[in-house]
Copies of this chain bind each other. A is one copy, B any other.
């Protein structure tokens, strides 16, 4: 007689349906995922989490598809998370119509999941981090996280990925370049996709000039790779650049401090959300707090002074 397995054991044991259920729970902010996430944490933090970000229309999904094929041929198992930034107003997905990763239904070495941000405590970065941990616990050798480059998801990539690929195309409009300025600062690897189109050498030279301003604060100098999903070319070079960055991290004396900073921010973020939801709930339900809010609504008390009265005393 075997005793029934918990979800953590099921996921670690390779049960893909248990994995899918856990990811759904994380995505929808379901607290039932909590014990599981606590249980798997010791098994995590060891694999590369490779983020691909960039503006809409640069071909990130095709690149991911090709990278997955290449990594599978090399014997690697791959978890893929495509992050859909939901509208903050509707919860609707921006990427609803996008052509999704080619199904590899017969291949247990790939797991693809599209994710929206609704409901997750602490937002998209927190839930993406949790899903990457689930994939690591499930035994995948690496995780690819694909996002559309916008403010919120840039933060996801910055905080969650170990190596960040910024995908561009040879001719980006000036406006897009301005809007996406933040992307330049998070790139460990620049990928100039659609380099079968004219102008890719110029784009590479332009990026190289930017990169030659010197290495980033962590000492890494961003690499530039030209790719095409049509011909295709450049994919092995792209992955070599990722591996070079992962090796750099492994040897970097600053990397442990960065990991510590990320975990500290994760803890702070969680405390922040726990406190906020408790206070929000009590402003509705607790008669004393309702009276406090009444006074603010009547402009007899200002919101700052009300908040001061609600900040709980520390402990621990």
A interface with B by C-beta (< 8 Å):
34, 37-38, 41-42, 44-45, 56-57, 85, 87-90, 92, 94, 150-152, 154-155, 158, 175, 178-179, 181-182, 185-186, 256, 259-260, 263-276, 278-280, 282-284, 288-289, 292-293, 296-297, 299-300, 302-316
Q: A45-B299, A151-B152, A313-B313 are in contact. Are A178 and B307 (CB under 8 A)?
A: no
Complex Cα spacing A92 to B303, Å: 30
Enumerate chain B residues within 8 angstroms of A260, measured Cβ to Cβ: 293, 297
Contacts of A265 in B (CB 8 A): 280
16 contacts between A and B (CB under 8 A): A37-B304, A42-B299, A87-B185, A88-B154, A88-B158, A88-B182, A89-B158, A256-B297, A260-B293, A263-B297, A266-B303, A267-B296, A267-B307, A270-B303, A272-B279, A275-B312
**Number of copies of this chain that the complex holds:** 2
Given contacts A41-B303, A90-B181, 17 further A-B contacts (CB under 8 A): A42-B302, A45-B299, A85-B151, A87-B185, A89-B186, A90-B185, A150-B151, A263-B293, A263-B297, A264-B293, A269-B276, A271-B310, A272-B279, A278-B311, A279-B314, A312-B314, A313-B313
Chief secondary structure at chain A's binding surface: helix
- Chain B residues in 8 Å Cβ range of A274: 307-308, 311
B37 engages A263 (CB within 8 Å)? no
Chain B residues, CB < 8 A from A37: 302, 304
A91 to chain B, nearest CB (A): 10
A151–B88 CB distance below 8 A: yes
User: Is the Cβ of B282 less than 8 Å from the Cβ of A314?
Assistant: yes
Within the complex, what minimum Cβ distance (angstroms) separates A270 from chain B? 4
Quick one: which of A56, A283, A292, A293 has the most chain B CB within 10 A?
A283
Inter-chain contact B41/A270, CB cutoff 8 Å = no
Point out the residues of chain B lying under 8 angstroms from A302, CB to CB. Answer: 37-38, 41-42
Tell me if A304 and B38 are in contact (CB < 8 A): yes
Min Cβ gap A284→B in Å is: 8
Complex Cα distance, B154 from A155, in Å, reads: 17
Which of chain B's residues have a CB closer than 8 A to the CB of A154? 88-89
